[in-house]
Homo-oligomer: A and B are copies of this chain.
Amino acid sequence: MVASLRLPSLTYLFTSPSAALGRRSKPVFRRGHHPPSPSPPLAAGFSAQGTAAVPPATEERAGKQKSRGEERAVTPRSQDFNAWYLDVIEHAELADYGPVRGTMVIRPYGYAIWEAIQDYLNVKFKETGHSNMYFPQFIPYSFIEKEASHVEGFSPELALVTIGGGKELEEKLVVRPTSETIVNHMFTQWIHSHRDLPLMINQWANVTRWEMRTKPFIRTLEFLWQEGHTAHATPEEAEKEALQMIDVYTKFAYEQAAIPVIAGRKSKVERFAGADRTYTIEAMMGDRKALQAGTSHNLGQNFSRAFGTQFTDENGNRQHVWQTSWAISTRFVGGIIMTHGDDAGLMLPPRLAPIQVIVIPIYKKADEKSGVISAASSVKEALQSAGVKVKLDDSEQRTPGWKFNFWEMKGVPLRIEIGPRDVSSGSVVVSRRDIPGKEGKVFGISMEPAVLEAYVRDKLDEIQSSLLQRAKLFRDRNIVDVSSYDELKEAISQGKWARGPWSASDQDELRVKEETGATIRCFPFDHPEDIKTCLMTGNPASEVAIFAKSY
Residues on A close to B: CB < 8 A?
49, 51-54, 58, 61-62, 65-66, 96, 98-100, 103-108, 110-112, 114-115, 131-143, 155-173, 175, 182, 185-186, 188-190, 192, 195, 201, 205-206, 208, 210-212, 221-222, 224, 397
Q: A112-B132, A133-B107, A168-B51 are in contact. Are A397 and B195 (CB under 8 A)?
A: yes
A53 CB to closest chain B CB, in angstroms?
Answer: 4
Q: A140-B100, A142-B54, A164-B160 are in contact. Are A224 and B134 (CB under 8 A)?
A: yes
Q: A162-B162, A165-B158 are in contact. Are A170 and B53 (CB under 8 A)?
A: yes
* Chain B: CB-nearest residue to A62: B189
* Chain B: CB-nearest residue to A131: B108
A210 CB to closest chain B CB, in angstroms?
Answer: 4
A136 touches B104 (CB 8 A): yes
A165 touches B210 (CB 8 A): yes
* In the complex, chain B residues whose CB is within 8 Å of the CB of A212: 165
B134 touches A186 (CB 8 A): no
A9 CB to closest chain B CB, in angstroms?
Answer: 12
Query: In the complex, which of the residues A51, A53, A155 has the most CB atoms of chain B within 10 Å of its own CB atom?
Result: A53
* In the complex, chain B residues whose CB is within 8 Å of the CB of A142: 54
Q: A51-B167, A160-B164, A171-B54 are in contact. Are A105 and B133 (CB under 8 A)?
A: yes
* In the complex, chain B residues whose CB is within 8 Å of the CB of A182: 98-99
* In the complex, chain B residues whose CB is within 8 Å of the CB of A107: 133
Given A61-B189, A159-B173, A161-B175, 9 extra CB contacts under 8 A: A49-B165, A51-B170, A65-B189, A66-B192, A99-B136, A107-B133, A111-B133, A138-B221, A163-B172
* In the complex, chain B residues whose CB is within 8 Å of the CB of A98: 135-136, 138, 182, 186
Tell me the bound Cα distance from A173 to B222 in angstroms.
13
* Chain B: CB-nearest residue to A24: B165
A51 touches B164 (CB 8 A): yes
A182 CB to closest chain B CB, in angstroms?
Answer: 7
